[in-house]
Amino acid sequence: MNMTPSSQRLHPLSIIFLVIGSLKGFLLPAVFVFATARNATWEVWALWLSVPMAGYAVFRYFTTRYAFADDELVIHTGLIFRNVRHIRYSRIQNIETVQNPLHRALRVTEVRVETGGGNEQEARLQVLSLEAVDEMRRRVFEGKRRAASAGVVDEAADAPATPELAPGDVDHVPDVAKSEAPRVLVRLGLRDLAIFGLVQNRGGLVVAAVLGVLWEADILDWKIADSANMRQLIRYAADSGWFANWDVAVIVTLLGIFLAFLIVVRILSIGWAIVRLYDFTLTRTGDELRTSCGLFTKVRAVIPLRRIQLVSMQQAPLQRAFDRVEVRAQTAGGDKGASPSREWLAPMIRREAVDSLLAEVVPGPGFDALEWRRVDPRAGWRELRAGLRVIAVLVLAAVWFAPVMTLIAAALLAVLTFFAARGRARRFGFALAGDRVACRSGWLWRSASIARYAKVQAIRIGESPFDRRWKMASVAADTAGGGSHRVVIPYLPVAEARAVFDDLGARVNETAFRW
């Protein structure tokens, strides 16, 4: 390691900020605790935990150093557990500074070195003086330029644009993009939004939020919903003379209340969808996608096409009834922690329109054009066995309490498991084509994803003990886009899994990853 000896410490004020940082997690709850003070004893005791944390902050200051080597930033941390982090200048996307008012008053800043990947910033230096940051910026970007001029393939050319990709920051658009007229790819009408609300069923969220606020504010008096009103309602129902006897009246009333609740929740959900996603529009301008939506708060997001890591399509049963799917694009980099609405290419789109949308986003064969390969035919049998095993355990646990009910429920579950296993096994599929790998899964809730080789970060082949018994393995391709659906191909015969793993590895290696 050819490290220059100019190893540097953080700014001495770091101690203050580190202490504040470590206390902050306690202070807010503490204030809250004292303010509400229901029964606060253990929380008060927990406050003492903050003392060692503050000590740790001081320790961190004295053990953190950074240095500028020829082509990388080197950060040392720890004394007992020593850690040395090397970040190549060419990989650094952005040196972000975060200043709260206290930082500004003391002329220091928190520094986040972003390389765009992973789940955390690559380095968070808390805090540096403004001069130190300037020097860091100068040396890092000098280093990037050196690397770029040395003919190295990297993202140096793209990097200056990166800080401008913050969501909602529409004014900072590279000139290239401005030269092309925006084209609308997706626009949702009210009907689509209503379907979306129905499908998503976020009404529960609204109800939960309202209940939560009421509970915290101590307004909620459970007696409101208590027996008196209920009994009155049931008596009213019974008195109407529609029901044979009291019991039936009780059951029907309760069912009615439950149904009414479900309907209200769905209606709330539709309302939620309209507020959140009103006039959802996806447009393409040059190499950028932009989404905008929202009734009250207008949310705008910019997704550079090259930032898209993974495109997935999801379909719930209700969506299938309306022949709609949901399409998301997983991005990576500076937009960690961005709102999920940023992921949506289309919250709701006709199934047959998906591939033409994909043609804009990731040109190449879409979901329907791919040649899907199936997994091992024994997959269904394995799924069924696994399901039956779980049912058997449940039966063993419950059969002592209610034998008849348990057996009936188990039989029904077993039938369901059979269909689920068969459906899932038929649905599993994958495709390796041109520049992309794709996979699909799910029976009632279906998903499919596409990732380009250039966006694949690591490839894994795995064998569980169960896999080994059946001589199968799974292959997964990891991308920077962490959504709920990822490229995982289960239930492959071992030889085929090995071949797919090697094939994927070779194809990924042929491409260079660019942000």
Minimal distance, residue 420 CB to other proteins, in Å:
24
Question: Is 3 strand, coil or helix?
Answer: coil
14-36 and 50-63 are packed helices; what angle lies between their axes, rounded to 10 degrees?
A: 160
Q: For residue 391, what is the enclosing H or E element?
A: helix 379-398
Minimal distance, residue 450 CB to other proteins, in Å:
16
For other proteins, which is the closer residue by CB, 268 or 332? 332
Cα 203–Cα 209–Cα 211 angle in degrees, nearest 5: 105
Minimal distance, residue 91 CB to other proteins, in Å:
6
Minimal distance, residue 330 CB to other proteins, in Å:
9
For other proteins, which is the closer residue by CB, 4 or 511? 511
For other proteins, which is the closer residue by CB, 56 or 242? 56
Minimal distance, residue 309 CB to other proteins, in Å:
8
Of 373, 289, 366, 375, the C-alpha closest to 325 is 366
Minimal distance, residue 510 CB to other proteins, in Å:
6
Minimal distance, residue 435 CB to other proteins, in Å:
13
SS3 letters across 94-162: EEEEECCHHHHHCCEEEEEEECCCCCCCCEEEEEEEHHHHHHHHHHHHHHHHHHHHCCCCCCCCCHHHH
For other proteins, which is the closer residue by CB, 417 or 449? 449
For other proteins, which is the closer residue by CB, 5 or 151? 151
For other proteins, which is the closer residue by CB, 122 or 192? 122
Minimal distance, residue 289 CB to other proteins, in Å:
20
| Beta-bridge partners for 445 | none
For other proteins, which is the closer residue by CB, 169 or 502? 502
Burial class (CB in 10 A: 0-12, 13-18, 19+), 448: buried
Minimal distance, residue 202 CB to other proteins, in Å:
25
Minimal distance, residue 375 CB to other proteins, in Å:
18
10, 124 contact by CB (below 8 A): no
Of 168, 95, 487, the C-alpha closest to 339 is 168
Positions in the binding site for other proteins (CB under 8 A):
1, 72, 80-88, 90-91, 115-119, 122, 147, 150-154, 332, 456-465, 468, 476, 478-482, 486, 501, 505, 508-513
Q: Which long-range contacts (CB under 8 A, 24 or more apart) does 376-380 make?
A: 376/470, 376/472, 376/491, 376/492, 376/493, 377/425, 378/470, 378/472, 378/491, 379/424, 379/425, 379/428, 379/490, 379/491, 380/421, 380/422, 380/424, 380/425, 380/426
For other proteins, which is the closer residue by CB, 76 or 320? 76
Q: Cα separations (Å) of 421 from 51, 369, 426?
A: 54, 26, 9
For other proteins, which is the closer residue by CB, 30 or 494? 494
Q: Residue 86: phi, psi to the nearest 5?
A: -110, 125
Cα 109–Cα 111–Cα 115 angle in degrees, nearest 5: 165
Q: For residue 325, what is the enclosing H or E element?
A: strand 324-331
Minimal distance, residue 494 CB to other proteins, in Å:
9
For other proteins, which is the closer residue by CB, 318 or 494? 494
268, 206 contact by CB (below 8 A): yes
CA atoms within 13 A on the CB side of 465: 1
For other proteins, which is the closer residue by CB, 289 or 476? 476
- Site of tokens 């140096």: 156
Q: Cα separations (Å) of 318 from 198, 274, 314, 418?
A: 8, 18, 11, 22
Torsion sign, CA atoms 353, 354, 360, 365: negative
Minimal distance, residue 59 CB to other proteins, in Å:
15
Minimal distance, residue 483 CB to other proteins, in Å:
9
For other proteins, which is the closer residue by CB, 387 or 481? 481
**CA-CA-CA-CA dihedral for 142, 143, 148, 151, to nearest 10:** 130
126, 18 contact by CB (below 8 A): yes
- Site of tokens 């490839």: 459
Count other C-beta atoms under 10 Å from residue 150's C-beta: 10
For other proteins, which is the closer residue by CB, 123 or 268? 123
Hey, what are 87's tokens?
A: 């970040």
